[in-house]
Structure 1
Protein backbone atom coordinates (compact mmCIF):
# COMPACT_ATOMS: atom_id res chain seq x y z
CA UNK A 1 0.00 0.00 0.00
CA UNK A 2 1.46 3.33 -1.04
CA UNK A 3 0.48 7.00 -0.78
CA UNK A 4 1.88 9.73 -3.05
CA UNK A 5 2.01 12.71 -0.69
CA UNK A 6 1.25 15.87 -2.66
CA UNK A 7 -1.40 18.57 -2.40
CA UNK A 8 -4.33 18.94 -4.80
CA UNK A 9 -2.77 21.88 -6.70
CA UNK A 10 0.60 20.16 -7.23
CA UNK A 11 -0.55 17.48 -9.66
CA UNK A 12 0.84 17.36 -13.19
CA UNK A 13 -2.65 17.70 -14.67
CA UNK A 14 -2.88 21.25 -13.31
CA UNK A 15 0.62 22.47 -14.12
CA UNK A 16 -0.66 24.66 -16.97
CA UNK A 17 -3.31 26.22 -14.72
CA UNK A 18 -1.36 26.65 -11.45
CA UNK A 19 2.10 28.20 -11.44
CA UNK A 20 4.63 26.84 -8.98
CA UNK A 21 5.26 30.43 -7.94
CA UNK A 22 1.68 30.50 -6.61
CA UNK A 23 1.91 27.32 -4.55
CA UNK A 24 2.71 29.10 -1.29
CA UNK A 25 -0.46 31.18 -1.66
CA UNK A 26 -2.76 28.21 -2.24
CA UNK A 27 -4.82 26.92 0.72
CA UNK A 28 -3.04 23.72 1.72
CA UNK A 29 -5.02 20.60 2.61
CA UNK A 30 -2.39 17.86 2.50
CA UNK A 31 -1.67 17.68 6.23
CA UNK A 32 -5.31 17.25 7.26
CA UNK A 33 -5.82 14.65 4.53
CA UNK A 34 -2.72 12.69 5.53
CA UNK A 35 -3.95 12.66 9.13
CA UNK A 36 -7.25 11.18 7.92
CA UNK A 37 -5.32 8.52 6.02
CA UNK A 38 -3.22 7.72 9.08
CA UNK A 39 -6.42 7.25 11.06
CA UNK A 40 -7.86 4.94 8.36
CA UNK A 41 -4.70 2.87 8.29
CA UNK A 42 -4.56 2.67 12.09
CA UNK A 43 -8.15 1.46 12.25
CA UNK A 44 -7.44 -1.23 9.65
CA UNK A 45 -4.09 -2.26 11.13
CA UNK A 46 -2.30 -1.33 7.89
CA UNK A 47 1.23 -0.04 7.42
CA UNK A 48 2.10 1.71 4.17
CA UNK A 49 4.81 3.56 2.26
CA UNK A 50 4.40 7.33 1.90
CA UNK A 51 6.21 8.69 -1.19
CA UNK A 52 6.53 12.30 -0.09
CA UNK A 53 7.46 15.48 -1.96
CA UNK A 54 10.45 17.23 -0.45
CA UNK A 55 8.75 20.64 -0.62
CA UNK A 56 5.75 19.25 1.26
CA UNK A 57 7.96 17.65 3.91
CA UNK A 58 9.87 20.88 4.48
CA UNK A 59 6.58 22.76 4.94
CA UNK A 60 4.93 20.10 7.14
CA UNK A 61 7.74 18.44 9.14
CA UNK A 62 5.47 17.39 12.01
CA UNK A 63 3.26 15.52 9.53
CA UNK A 64 6.29 13.61 8.29
CA UNK A 65 7.28 12.74 11.84
CA UNK A 66 3.77 11.43 12.53
CA UNK A 67 4.00 9.19 9.47
CA UNK A 68 7.25 7.70 10.75
CA UNK A 69 6.15 7.52 14.39
CA UNK A 70 3.11 5.44 13.41
CA UNK A 71 5.30 2.81 11.77
CA UNK A 72 4.98 3.69 8.11
CA UNK A 73 7.81 3.84 5.58
CA UNK A 74 9.00 7.26 4.40
CA UNK A 75 10.10 7.42 0.76
CA UNK A 76 10.87 10.07 -1.86
CA UNK A 77 8.54 11.53 -4.50
CA UNK A 78 11.09 14.08 -5.67
CA UNK A 79 11.27 17.70 -4.55
CA UNK A 80 8.42 19.54 -6.28
CA UNK A 81 6.62 17.11 -8.59
CA UNK A 82 8.67 17.86 -11.69
CA UNK A 83 8.40 15.01 -14.18
CA UNK A 84 11.68 13.26 -14.97
CA UNK A 85 10.96 13.90 -18.66
CA UNK A 86 11.36 17.61 -17.89
CA UNK A 87 14.78 17.21 -16.25
CA UNK A 88 18.23 16.45 -17.58
CA UNK A 89 20.41 13.93 -15.81
CA UNK A 90 22.21 16.51 -13.69
CA UNK A 91 19.00 18.20 -12.58
CA UNK A 92 17.43 14.87 -11.72
CA UNK A 93 20.45 13.76 -9.70
CA UNK A 94 20.42 16.98 -7.69
CA UNK A 95 16.65 16.69 -7.12
CA UNK A 96 16.70 13.14 -5.77
CA UNK A 97 19.68 13.77 -3.50
CA UNK A 98 18.19 16.95 -2.06
CA UNK A 99 14.87 15.25 -1.40
CA UNK A 100 16.40 12.18 0.23
CA UNK A 101 18.59 14.28 2.51
CA UNK A 102 15.65 16.46 3.56
CA UNK A 103 13.35 13.52 4.28
CA UNK A 104 16.01 11.68 6.27
CA UNK A 105 16.78 14.80 8.30
CA UNK A 106 13.12 15.46 9.13
CA UNK A 107 12.01 11.85 9.55
CA UNK A 108 15.11 10.60 11.35
CA UNK A 109 15.13 7.41 9.28
CA UNK A 110 16.75 5.98 6.17
CA UNK A 111 14.97 6.62 2.86
CA UNK A 112 15.36 3.71 0.42
CA UNK A 113 12.54 4.22 -2.08
CA UNK A 114 11.60 6.65 -4.83
CA UNK A 115 8.60 7.24 -7.07
CA UNK A 116 8.79 9.61 -10.04
CA UNK A 117 6.20 12.33 -10.48
CA UNK A 118 3.48 11.02 -12.80
CA UNK A 119 5.41 7.76 -13.29
CA UNK A 120 7.69 9.63 -15.69
CA UNK A 121 10.48 7.07 -16.02
CA UNK A 122 10.26 5.02 -19.21
CA UNK A 123 12.16 3.74 -22.21
CA UNK A 124 13.59 7.17 -23.11
CA UNK A 125 15.11 7.95 -19.72
CA UNK A 126 16.11 4.69 -18.04
CA UNK A 127 19.32 6.49 -17.06
CA UNK A 128 17.22 7.79 -14.14
CA UNK A 129 17.35 4.33 -12.55
CA UNK A 130 21.16 4.45 -12.61
CA UNK A 131 21.06 7.89 -11.02
CA UNK A 132 18.80 6.58 -8.26
CA UNK A 133 21.20 3.72 -7.53
CA UNK A 134 24.15 6.13 -7.56
CA UNK A 135 22.32 8.35 -5.05
CA UNK A 136 21.85 5.44 -2.63
CA UNK A 137 18.26 4.47 -3.29
CA UNK A 138 17.50 0.74 -3.10
CA UNK A 139 14.24 0.65 -5.05
CA UNK A 140 12.00 2.65 -7.38
CA UNK A 141 8.30 2.39 -8.15
CA UNK A 142 8.21 4.67 -11.18
CA UNK A 143 7.20 2.59 -14.20
CA UNK A 144 3.70 1.62 -15.31
CA UNK A 145 3.70 -1.05 -18.07
CA UNK A 146 0.76 0.39 -20.01
CA UNK A 147 -0.05 2.68 -22.94
CA UNK A 148 -1.08 6.13 -21.66
CA UNK A 149 -1.05 9.64 -23.07
CA UNK A 150 1.09 10.98 -20.20
CA UNK A 151 3.28 8.05 -19.15
CA UNK A 152 3.85 4.33 -19.53
CA UNK A 153 6.31 1.72 -20.72
CA UNK A 154 4.12 -1.14 -21.99
CA UNK A 155 7.09 -3.37 -22.80
CA UNK A 156 8.37 -3.27 -19.19
CA UNK A 157 7.89 -6.32 -16.94
CA UNK A 158 4.67 -6.26 -14.96
CA UNK A 159 6.31 -7.39 -11.76
CA UNK A 160 9.47 -6.31 -9.85
CA UNK A 161 12.72 -6.54 -11.78
CA UNK A 162 16.37 -5.71 -11.24
CA UNK A 163 17.52 -2.45 -12.85
CA UNK A 164 20.62 -0.28 -13.01
CA UNK A 165 22.89 -3.26 -13.44
CA UNK A 166 21.31 -5.10 -10.53
CA UNK A 167 21.76 -2.23 -8.09
CA UNK A 168 18.10 -1.20 -7.91
CA UNK A 169 14.73 -2.95 -7.71
CA UNK A 170 12.03 -1.44 -9.93
CA UNK A 171 8.52 -2.23 -8.66
CA UNK A 172 5.91 -1.37 -11.32
CA UNK A 173 2.39 -0.32 -10.44
CA UNK A 174 0.02 -3.28 -10.67
CA UNK A 175 -1.62 -4.15 -13.97
CA UNK A 176 -3.62 -7.03 -15.40
CA UNK A 177 -3.32 -8.40 -18.92
CA UNK A 178 -6.55 -8.76 -20.89
CA UNK A 179 -6.52 -9.63 -24.61
CA UNK A 180 -2.74 -9.13 -24.68
CA UNK A 181 -2.97 -5.59 -23.35
CA UNK A 182 -2.05 -4.36 -19.88
CA UNK A 183 -4.57 -2.37 -17.87
CA UNK A 184 -3.83 -0.38 -14.73
CA UNK A 185 -5.43 -1.79 -11.60
CA UNK A 186 -3.00 -0.24 -9.12
CA UNK A 187 -4.97 2.79 -7.99
CA UNK A 188 -5.32 6.49 -8.63
CA UNK A 189 -7.94 7.64 -11.11
CA UNK A 190 -8.37 4.10 -12.40
CA UNK A 191 -9.57 2.98 -8.97
CA UNK A 192 -12.11 5.81 -8.92
CA UNK A 193 -13.24 5.11 -12.50
CA UNK A 194 -13.72 1.33 -12.41
CA UNK A 195 -16.41 -0.34 -10.28
CA UNK A 196 -14.86 -1.49 -7.01
CA UNK A 197 -15.65 -5.15 -7.72
CA UNK A 198 -13.55 -5.00 -10.90
CA UNK A 199 -10.57 -3.56 -9.02
CA UNK A 200 -10.93 -6.25 -6.39
CA UNK A 201 -11.11 -8.98 -9.04
CA UNK A 202 -7.93 -7.70 -10.71
CA UNK A 203 -5.96 -7.59 -7.48
CA UNK A 204 -7.19 -11.04 -6.45
CA UNK A 205 -6.13 -12.39 -9.83
CA UNK A 206 -2.64 -10.98 -9.26
CA UNK A 207 -2.52 -12.61 -5.82
CA UNK A 208 -4.24 -15.93 -6.41
CA UNK A 209 -3.55 -16.74 -10.08
CA UNK A 210 -0.21 -15.08 -10.69
CA UNK A 211 1.14 -15.47 -7.15
CA UNK A 212 2.37 -11.88 -6.94
CA UNK A 213 1.84 -8.95 -4.58
CA UNK A 214 -0.19 -5.97 -5.69
CA UNK A 215 1.33 -2.48 -5.74
CA UNK A 216 -1.45 0.04 -5.06
CA UNK A 217 -1.28 3.85 -4.80
CA UNK A 218 -3.50 6.83 -4.10
CA UNK A 219 -3.11 10.51 -3.16
CA UNK A 220 -4.28 12.43 -0.08
CA UNK A 221 -6.40 14.78 -2.24
CA UNK A 222 -8.38 11.79 -3.52
CA UNK A 223 -10.23 11.46 -0.20
CA UNK A 224 -11.06 15.17 -0.17
CA UNK A 225 -14.17 15.96 -2.27
CA UNK A 226 -14.37 19.40 -0.66
CA UNK A 227 -11.06 20.62 -2.07
CA UNK A 228 -11.04 23.95 -3.97
CA UNK A 229 -11.68 23.65 -7.71
CA UNK A 230 -8.88 24.76 -10.03
CA UNK A 231 -9.90 27.37 -12.57
CA UNK A 232 -8.49 27.19 -16.08
CA UNK A 233 -7.74 23.46 -16.14
CA UNK A 234 -8.72 21.48 -19.23
CA UNK A 235 -11.89 19.40 -19.31
CA UNK A 236 -9.79 16.22 -19.43
CA UNK A 237 -7.73 17.28 -16.42
CA UNK A 238 -10.85 18.15 -14.43
CA UNK A 239 -12.50 14.83 -15.31
CA UNK A 240 -9.46 12.81 -14.25
CA UNK A 241 -8.91 14.73 -11.05
CA UNK A 242 -12.45 15.14 -9.71
CA UNK A 243 -14.08 11.89 -10.85
CA UNK A 244 -15.78 10.06 -7.97
CA UNK A 245 -13.82 11.78 -5.20
CA UNK A 246 -16.89 11.41 -2.99
CA UNK A 247 -16.68 7.62 -3.32
CA UNK A 248 -12.94 7.21 -2.78
CA UNK A 249 -12.79 6.94 1.00
CA UNK A 250 -15.48 4.27 1.24
CA UNK A 251 -13.84 2.27 -1.57
CA UNK A 252 -10.50 2.57 0.17
CA UNK A 253 -12.02 1.28 3.42
CA UNK A 254 -13.31 -1.80 1.55
CA UNK A 255 -9.91 -2.32 -0.05
CA UNK A 256 -8.17 -2.22 3.32
CA UNK A 257 -10.56 -4.88 4.61
CA UNK A 258 -10.47 -7.14 1.56
CA UNK A 259 -6.68 -7.55 1.31
CA UNK A 260 -3.61 -7.67 3.54
CA UNK A 261 -1.32 -4.65 3.11
CA UNK A 262 2.13 -3.61 4.25
CA UNK A 263 5.03 -1.27 3.53
CA UNK A 264 6.98 -1.65 0.29
CA UNK A 265 10.23 -2.39 2.12
CA UNK A 266 8.59 -5.31 3.95
CA UNK A 267 6.71 -6.82 0.99
CA UNK A 268 9.61 -6.88 -1.46
CA UNK A 269 13.16 -8.20 -0.91
CA UNK A 270 14.82 -4.80 -0.63
CA UNK A 271 17.33 -5.72 2.07
CA UNK A 272 18.51 -8.82 0.24
CA UNK A 273 19.35 -6.88 -2.91
CA UNK A 274 17.34 -6.26 -6.09
CA UNK A 275 18.49 -9.42 -7.82
CA UNK A 276 16.75 -11.72 -5.32
Structure 2
Protein backbone atom coordinates (compact mmCIF):
# COMPACT_ATOMS: atom_id res chain seq x y z
CA UNK A 1 0.00 0.00 0.00
CA UNK A 2 2.81 2.43 0.92
CA UNK A 3 4.62 1.67 -2.34
CA UNK A 4 1.44 2.41 -4.32
CA UNK A 5 1.01 5.76 -2.53
CA UNK A 6 4.67 6.62 -3.18
CA UNK A 7 4.26 5.70 -6.84
CA UNK A 8 1.33 8.13 -7.15
CA UNK A 9 3.36 10.95 -5.61
CA UNK A 10 6.48 10.42 -7.78
CA UNK A 11 5.31 12.72 -10.65
CA UNK A 12 4.55 15.54 -8.19
CA UNK A 13 7.95 15.07 -6.51
CA UNK A 14 9.66 15.30 -9.90
CA UNK A 15 7.73 18.46 -10.79
CA UNK A 16 8.62 20.00 -7.42
CA UNK A 17 12.31 19.21 -7.82
CA UNK A 18 12.27 20.65 -11.35
CA UNK A 19 10.72 23.90 -10.10
CA UNK A 20 13.25 24.19 -7.25
CA UNK A 21 16.23 23.55 -9.53
CA UNK A 22 14.87 25.98 -12.13
CA UNK A 23 14.49 28.73 -9.57
CA UNK A 24 17.95 28.02 -8.14
CA UNK A 25 19.51 28.08 -11.62
CA UNK A 26 17.77 31.35 -12.46
CA UNK A 27 19.02 32.90 -9.23
CA UNK A 28 22.61 31.81 -9.95
CA UNK A 29 22.46 33.17 -13.51
CA UNK A 30 21.08 36.49 -12.24
CA UNK A 31 23.82 36.70 -9.57
CA UNK A 32 26.46 36.07 -12.21
CA UNK A 33 25.14 38.64 -14.74
CA UNK A 34 24.48 41.52 -12.29
CA UNK A 35 26.64 43.51 -9.92
CA UNK A 36 25.95 44.33 -6.25
CA UNK A 37 24.40 47.75 -7.07
CA UNK A 38 21.85 46.25 -9.48
CA UNK A 39 20.97 43.52 -7.00
CA UNK A 40 20.48 46.14 -4.28
CA UNK A 41 18.19 48.19 -6.56
CA UNK A 42 16.18 45.08 -7.41
CA UNK A 43 15.73 44.23 -3.72
CA UNK A 44 14.62 47.79 -2.99
CA UNK A 45 12.10 47.70 -5.85
CA UNK A 46 10.73 44.34 -4.66
CA UNK A 47 10.50 45.63 -1.07
CA UNK A 48 8.69 48.76 -2.26
CA UNK A 49 6.26 46.64 -4.30
CA UNK A 50 5.58 44.37 -1.32
CA UNK A 51 4.98 47.36 0.98
CA UNK A 52 2.55 48.92 -1.51
CA UNK A 53 0.71 45.61 -1.88
CA UNK A 54 0.52 45.22 1.91
CA UNK A 55 -0.80 48.77 2.26
CA UNK A 56 -3.46 48.13 -0.40
CA UNK A 57 -4.54 44.92 1.36
CA UNK A 58 -4.79 46.68 4.72
CA UNK A 59 -6.70 49.60 3.19
CA UNK A 60 -9.21 47.31 1.47
CA UNK A 61 -9.60 45.29 4.68
CA UNK A 62 -10.24 48.45 6.72
CA UNK A 63 -13.11 49.39 4.38
CA UNK A 64 -14.74 45.95 4.41
CA UNK A 65 -17.99 44.93 6.09
CA UNK A 66 -16.07 42.70 8.52
CA UNK A 67 -14.08 45.68 9.84
CA UNK A 68 -17.27 47.67 10.46
CA UNK A 69 -18.87 44.83 12.40
CA UNK A 70 -15.72 44.07 14.41
CA UNK A 71 -15.33 47.74 15.39
CA UNK A 72 -18.96 47.94 16.49
CA UNK A 73 -18.46 44.78 18.57
CA UNK A 74 -15.29 46.15 20.18
CA UNK A 75 -12.86 43.88 18.27
CA UNK A 76 -13.49 40.65 20.25
CA UNK A 77 -10.32 38.59 20.88
CA UNK A 78 -8.37 41.39 19.20
CA UNK A 79 -9.68 40.40 15.78
CA UNK A 80 -9.43 42.78 12.85
CA UNK A 81 -10.79 42.38 9.34
CA UNK A 82 -7.37 41.31 8.03
CA UNK A 83 -6.81 38.63 10.68
CA UNK A 84 -10.36 37.34 10.28
CA UNK A 85 -9.97 36.98 6.50
CA UNK A 86 -6.58 35.28 6.96
CA UNK A 87 -8.13 32.75 9.38
CA UNK A 88 -11.09 32.34 7.02
CA UNK A 89 -8.91 31.64 3.96
CA UNK A 90 -6.46 29.37 5.82
CA UNK A 91 -9.37 27.36 7.25
CA UNK A 92 -10.95 26.99 3.81
CA UNK A 93 -7.64 25.86 2.27
CA UNK A 94 -7.01 23.32 5.05
CA UNK A 95 -10.49 21.80 4.83
CA UNK A 96 -10.49 21.69 1.03
CA UNK A 97 -7.01 20.18 0.97
CA UNK A 98 -7.83 17.55 3.63
CA UNK A 99 -11.26 16.47 2.38
CA UNK A 100 -11.18 17.26 -1.36
CA UNK A 101 -7.75 17.63 -2.99
CA UNK A 102 -5.72 15.04 -1.06
CA UNK A 103 -8.41 12.32 -1.51
CA UNK A 104 -8.52 13.30 -5.20
CA UNK A 105 -4.75 12.81 -5.49
CA UNK A 106 -4.89 9.54 -3.57
CA UNK A 107 -7.91 7.94 -5.25
CA UNK A 108 -8.49 10.02 -8.37
CA UNK A 109 -12.12 10.70 -7.36
CA UNK A 110 -13.38 14.24 -6.79
CA UNK A 111 -15.85 14.41 -3.88
CA UNK A 112 -18.55 16.83 -4.95
CA UNK A 113 -20.46 16.33 -1.68
CA UNK A 114 -17.47 17.28 0.50
CA UNK A 115 -16.74 20.29 -1.68
CA UNK A 116 -20.40 21.42 -1.54
CA UNK A 117 -20.62 21.00 2.26
CA UNK A 118 -17.40 22.99 2.84
CA UNK A 119 -18.47 25.67 0.35
CA UNK A 120 -21.92 26.07 1.94
CA UNK A 121 -20.40 26.04 5.43
CA UNK A 122 -18.02 28.87 4.61
CA UNK A 123 -20.79 30.88 2.98
CA UNK A 124 -22.35 31.10 6.44
CA UNK A 125 -19.21 32.83 7.75
CA UNK A 126 -18.88 35.47 5.01
CA UNK A 127 -19.17 38.99 6.48
CA UNK A 128 -20.80 40.27 3.28
CA UNK A 129 -23.71 37.84 3.62
CA UNK A 130 -26.56 39.62 5.48
CA UNK A 131 -27.83 36.40 7.11
CA UNK A 132 -24.50 34.69 7.82
CA UNK A 133 -23.44 33.34 11.21
CA UNK A 134 -20.73 36.03 11.34
CA UNK A 135 -23.33 38.81 11.10
CA UNK A 136 -25.54 36.98 13.61
CA UNK A 137 -22.71 36.76 16.18
CA UNK A 138 -21.63 40.37 15.59
CA UNK A 139 -25.19 41.67 16.07
CA UNK A 140 -25.47 39.81 19.35
CA UNK A 141 -22.09 41.11 20.54
CA UNK A 142 -23.04 44.69 19.59
CA UNK A 143 -26.31 44.37 21.53
CA UNK A 144 -24.43 42.98 24.51
CA UNK A 145 -21.87 45.81 24.42
CA UNK A 146 -24.64 48.42 24.20
CA UNK A 147 -26.42 46.83 27.16
CA UNK A 148 -23.22 46.99 29.24
CA UNK A 149 -22.69 50.64 28.30
CA UNK A 150 -26.26 51.55 29.22
CA UNK A 151 -25.97 49.77 32.56
CA UNK A 152 -22.90 51.83 33.48
CA UNK A 153 -24.49 55.04 32.16
CA UNK A 154 -27.43 54.36 34.50
CA UNK A 155 -24.98 53.84 37.36
CA UNK A 156 -23.30 57.15 36.46
CA UNK A 157 -26.66 58.91 36.76
CA UNK A 158 -27.14 57.43 40.22
CA UNK A 159 -23.62 58.30 41.39
CA UNK A 160 -23.90 61.87 40.12
CA UNK A 161 -27.16 62.38 42.01
CA UNK A 162 -25.62 60.98 45.21
CA UNK A 163 -22.53 63.18 44.86
CA UNK A 164 -24.63 66.30 44.28
CA UNK A 165 -26.89 65.55 47.22
CA UNK A 166 -23.89 65.20 49.53
CA UNK A 167 -22.30 68.44 48.33
CA UNK A 168 -22.38 71.38 50.77
CA UNK A 169 -21.59 74.05 48.17
CA UNK A 170 -23.83 75.17 45.35
CA UNK A 171 -21.04 75.54 42.80
CA UNK A 172 -20.67 72.40 40.66
CA UNK A 173 -17.44 71.29 38.99
CA UNK A 174 -18.34 68.62 36.41
CA UNK A 175 -14.71 67.82 35.61
CA UNK A 176 -13.89 66.90 39.21
CA UNK A 177 -17.14 64.95 39.58
CA UNK A 178 -16.37 62.75 36.55
CA UNK A 179 -12.74 62.37 37.63
CA UNK A 180 -13.73 61.17 41.11
CA UNK A 181 -16.26 58.67 39.72
CA UNK A 182 -13.93 57.27 37.03
CA UNK A 183 -12.68 54.19 39.02
CA UNK A 184 -16.24 52.87 39.43
CA UNK A 185 -16.59 51.95 35.74
CA UNK A 186 -15.02 49.44 33.39
CA UNK A 187 -16.80 49.53 30.02
CA UNK A 188 -17.18 53.31 29.70
CA UNK A 189 -14.03 54.15 31.66
CA UNK A 190 -11.83 54.60 28.53
CA UNK A 191 -14.43 56.96 27.03
CA UNK A 192 -14.62 59.02 30.23
CA UNK A 193 -10.81 59.16 30.53
CA UNK A 194 -10.54 60.34 26.92
CA UNK A 195 -13.21 62.98 27.63
CA UNK A 196 -11.27 64.30 30.63
CA UNK A 197 -8.11 64.52 28.51
CA UNK A 198 -9.92 66.45 25.78
CA UNK A 199 -11.68 68.59 28.41
CA UNK A 200 -8.38 70.04 29.65
CA UNK A 201 -6.96 70.47 26.12
CA UNK A 202 -7.68 73.04 23.42
CA UNK A 203 -10.87 71.18 22.42
CA UNK A 204 -12.84 72.37 25.41
CA UNK A 205 -15.56 70.78 27.58
CA UNK A 206 -18.47 71.07 25.13
CA UNK A 207 -16.61 69.39 22.25
CA UNK A 208 -15.22 66.74 24.64
CA UNK A 209 -18.73 65.89 25.86
CA UNK A 210 -20.01 65.78 22.27
CA UNK A 211 -17.28 63.25 21.45
CA UNK A 212 -18.31 61.26 24.53
CA UNK A 213 -21.90 61.07 23.26
CA UNK A 214 -20.68 59.81 19.87
CA UNK A 215 -18.47 57.16 21.49
CA UNK A 216 -21.25 55.91 23.75
CA UNK A 217 -23.48 55.65 20.69
CA UNK A 218 -26.75 55.28 22.60
CA UNK A 219 -29.72 57.55 23.17
CA UNK A 220 -29.20 57.34 26.91
CA UNK A 221 -25.55 58.35 26.54
CA UNK A 222 -26.46 61.39 24.46
CA UNK A 223 -29.07 62.39 27.07
CA UNK A 224 -26.40 62.14 29.77
CA UNK A 225 -24.09 64.38 27.72
CA UNK A 226 -26.80 67.05 27.41
CA UNK A 227 -27.20 67.05 31.20
CA UNK A 228 -23.44 67.16 31.87
CA UNK A 229 -23.10 70.20 29.61
CA UNK A 230 -25.43 72.22 31.81
CA UNK A 231 -24.14 71.13 35.25
CA UNK A 232 -21.54 73.89 35.51
CA UNK A 233 -24.09 76.57 34.58
CA UNK A 234 -26.91 75.69 37.01
CA UNK A 235 -27.21 75.44 40.78
CA UNK A 236 -27.12 72.17 42.71
CA UNK A 237 -30.91 71.85 43.20
CA UNK A 238 -31.66 72.39 39.51
CA UNK A 239 -28.95 69.89 38.54
CA UNK A 240 -30.37 67.25 40.90
CA UNK A 241 -33.89 67.83 39.54
CA UNK A 242 -32.65 67.47 35.95
CA UNK A 243 -30.68 64.32 36.72
CA UNK A 244 -33.62 62.70 38.54
CA UNK A 245 -35.95 63.45 35.65
CA UNK A 246 -33.52 61.95 33.16
CA UNK A 247 -32.98 58.99 35.49
CA UNK A 248 -36.68 58.16 35.59
CA UNK A 249 -36.87 58.25 31.83
CA UNK A 250 -33.72 56.21 31.62
CA UNK A 251 -35.07 53.61 34.05
CA UNK A 252 -37.88 52.77 31.65
CA UNK A 253 -35.37 52.47 28.82
CA UNK A 254 -33.14 50.30 31.00
CA UNK A 255 -35.98 47.85 31.58
CA UNK A 256 -36.23 47.42 27.82
CA UNK A 257 -32.44 46.99 27.59
CA UNK A 258 -32.58 44.25 30.22
CA UNK A 259 -35.23 42.47 28.19
CA UNK A 260 -32.99 42.77 25.13
CA UNK A 261 -30.04 41.45 27.12
CA UNK A 262 -32.04 38.41 28.21
CA UNK A 263 -33.05 37.88 24.59
CA UNK A 264 -29.38 38.00 23.54
CA UNK A 265 -28.49 35.43 26.21
CA UNK A 266 -31.36 33.19 25.11
CA UNK A 267 -30.26 33.45 21.47
CA UNK A 268 -26.65 32.62 22.35
CA UNK A 269 -27.70 29.61 24.43
CA UNK A 270 -29.93 28.47 21.55
CA UNK A 271 -27.07 28.48 19.02
CA UNK A 272 -25.91 24.88 19.79
CA UNK A 273 -29.48 23.66 19.26
CA UNK A 274 -29.77 25.56 15.96
CA UNK A 275 -26.38 24.26 14.81
CA UNK A 276 -27.45 20.71 15.69
CA UNK A 277 -30.65 21.09 13.67
CA UNK A 278 -28.66 22.52 10.77
CA UNK A 279 -26.24 19.55 10.82
CA UNK A 280 -29.16 17.12 10.96
CA UNK A 281 -30.74 18.77 7.91
CA UNK A 282 -27.41 18.73 6.04
CA UNK A 283 -26.94 15.06 6.93
CA UNK A 284 -30.45 14.27 5.68
CA UNK A 285 -29.77 16.09 2.39
CA UNK A 286 -26.47 14.22 1.95
CA UNK A 287 -28.19 10.88 2.57
CA UNK A 288 -30.91 11.70 0.03
CA UNK A 289 -28.31 12.75 -2.58
CA UNK A 290 -26.30 9.55 -2.05
CA UNK A 291 -29.42 7.39 -2.29
CA UNK A 292 -30.56 9.12 -5.50
CA UNK A 293 -27.08 8.82 -7.05
CA UNK A 294 -26.97 5.09 -6.15
CA UNK A 295 -30.41 4.52 -7.66
CA UNK A 296 -29.44 6.32 -10.86
CA UNK A 297 -26.14 4.46 -11.15
CA UNK A 298 -27.88 1.08 -10.60
CA UNK A 299 -30.54 1.91 -13.19
CA UNK A 300 -27.87 2.68 -15.78
State the TM-score, normalized to the length of structure 1: 0.21
State the TM-score, normalized to the length of structure 2: 0.20
Q: Name which one, 1 or 2, has greater alpha-carbon Rg.
A: 2
Q: Which has the higher contact order (CA 8 A, sep 6+)?
A: 1
Structure with the higher fraction of residues in strand conformation: 1
Structure with the higher fraction of residues in helix conformation: 2
